[in-house]
Structure 1
Amino acid sequence: MKPFIFHYADIYIPSFFFMTMIGSLAAAFYASWFAKHHDGDPVIMLDFGIIGIIAGVLGARIFHILIENPKYYFEDPIRVFYFWQGGFVSLGAFVFSALTWILYLHVRKFPVLKHFDHITLSVPIIIFFVRLGCLLAGCCYGKPTDFFLHLIFTDPSSAAGKLHSGEALHATQVYFMLNAVVMFIVLHLTYRYRRFQGQVLTTFLIYYGITRFLIEFLRGDADRGVYFDGMISTGQIVMVISFGVGIFLWKYLKKRFPV
């Protein structure tokens, strides 16, 4: 594939980073447009976009450093700032973005549930582009398979090409992208027929918790953080939490915040 979009001298622009920025901007503008036409505040959605990009980059970088390759950075801490060399984890981006959004709404005293429902509708857009970046970068690849829908990486500059050159691997990046498309439809149907504030958010937490947990079983990149002899990954642990929080909030919000 193409791990780097372009480079100049020793500075490389990672495909993952580039696609994540494109997805974040597209999601922010879509959320702003949607809010404008559905009794929301388009300016707040754009603020969310700016905050999400900054917090997302920091979160993605921090998760990569702490989970995937801490020794590499502890040996030479200045490497932490070499963003152009790659090294991002999408899960960290979502966690940090969500936390900063909550803080922003709390400080500004804006209704949390209403705005989270609006911004959550655009999250599948970010996920789609993030996974497109993964596909180009050759990261987050799948396990070897004989399934007809597979990918073969040969570029040695990508993780998949370096470790599994010429092998047929589960197209996990494509699975995630297709899942994002379905999620986009599900969330918009949920918004249309919602019965309580926060229903879109809770639907996302439950849906993504289930689907990502399952797709993770097909991934073959052990450096993402796996435990119990590879039985479960960091992402799956977070998805179990996501599912549990989603179920709890569904029951709690349904009774207290009807539309």
Structure 2
Amino acid sequence: MPLFAIPFPMIDPVLVSVGPIAIRWYALAYVAGLLIGWWFAKRLAGNDALWGVVRRPAPEQIDDLILYVAFGVVLGGRIGYVLFYNPGYYLENPIEALQVWRGGMSFHGGLVGASLGVALFARARGLPAMPIFDLASAVAPIGLFFGRLANFINGELYGRVTDVSWAMVFPHGGPEPRHPSQLYQAALEGLALFILVQVLVRSGALKRAGLVGGAFLVGYAVCRIIGEEFREPDAQIGFLPGGFTMGMALSAPMLALGLVVIVLALKRPRPA
């Protein structure tokens, strides 16, 4: 164990409160990710050179798309957390399943919800769904980055006990120094994944429907599996057989699906 540990910055999870109304960093992170993603998606949608002849939403249609995606992320993320991470507790306390502001969201559930939102939007607008999924995948790491920072501010989803010199003692993690795994995941799932998809976008990958979306699925799955090596498993679940975690188990089919999507995208004729 290290002789010293970096003190955890005690940041109040509530940014501003007025009477019974409280604005929390956790909720603000979701809002920031959606707003910045909305702005960036409009810029990408309006750049004809990136898409070629591929049909995609017009920039003004992104205003409606963000509503579909936001609703899907929140609803799917919460349902996924309830089903994957704590079904027994919420079966006994069903009302608390509706209290999203108390935390508890699953990325994999949010991904399913967002994908359904994309499919519904595409059907309503008469557009192909895959280019819209590519567009959403190109901006999704922005929200992931802010979400992991919010996890760090809340002192939740902390890492495993370690002796590295940058270990931290988290307020709810006992006296042992731990990996600041939320920051690792912000760097991997947010920054590194954003750079990956943007390199693909600027290389013309949006002209092959599904290529950016498939790369996002694979990239996130790999980053999540790496991050899970440093993250403390949820107390109510612990380790799965073989030393795996729930995050790893949910990311494995995501990795396989992403590879299939990439192969199918590359089999399509090369755009002029």
Q: Which runs of 5+ in 2 are unaligned?
A: 1-10
**In the alignment, which residue of structure 1 is the partner of 2:130?**
113
Could you say if the C-alpha distance between residues 53 and 225 of structure 1 is closer, same or farther in structure 2, counting changes exceeding 3 Å? Answer: farther
Alignment partner, residue 157 of structure 1: none
Q: What is the aligned partner in structure 1 of residue 224 from structure 2?
A: 212
2 CA distance for matches of 1:240 and 1:224? 21
Matches within 5 A, 1:25-174: 25-38=35-48, 40=56, 41-153=58-170, 161-164=171-174, 166-174=175-183
- The residue number in structure 2 matching 1:175 is 184
Check conservation: 1:16, 1:134, Cα contact below 8 A.
Answer: yes
CA distance in 2, matches of 1:237, 1:198: 24
Matched, 1:192 2:207: no
Distance (Å, rounded) in 2 between the aligned partners of 1:94 and 1:250: 18
8 A contact 1:31–1:122 mirrored in 2: yes
Counterpart-to-counterpart distance in 1, 2:236 and 2:30 = 18
Note if contact 1:3-1:14 (Cα within 8 Å) is conserved in structure 2.
yes
- CA gap of 1:28–1:230, structure 2 versus 1, over 3 A, is farther
Q: CA deviation at 1:8?
A: 4.8
Name whichever of 181-190 and 30-39 sits farther off.
30-39
TM-score, normalised by the number of residues in structure 2 = 0.82
Instruction: Tell me, in whole angstroms, the C-alpha distance in 2 between the residues paired with 1:20 and 1:98.
Output: 17
Identity %: 26
CA deviations 1:87-111 (Å, max 9, x no partner) are 3233322221122212321343202
The unaligned stretches of length 5 or more in structure 1 are: 154-160
Alignment partners' CA distance in 2, 1:184 and 1:229: 32
Query: How many correspondences in the alignment?
Result: 251
Q: What is the alpha-carbon distance in structure 2 between the residues aligned to residue 128 and residue 43 of structure 1?
A: 26
Deviation at 1:10, TM superposition (A): 5.6
Q: Considering only CA atoms, is the larger Rg found in Structure 1 or Structure 2? A: 2
Structure 1 residue 167 displacement after superposition: 2.9
Q: Cα gap change, 1:178/1:84 in structure 2, threshold over 3 Å: closer, same or farther?
A: closer
RMSD: 2.3
The Cα shift of 1:211 comes to 1.5
Match of 1:18 among 22, 28, 50: 28
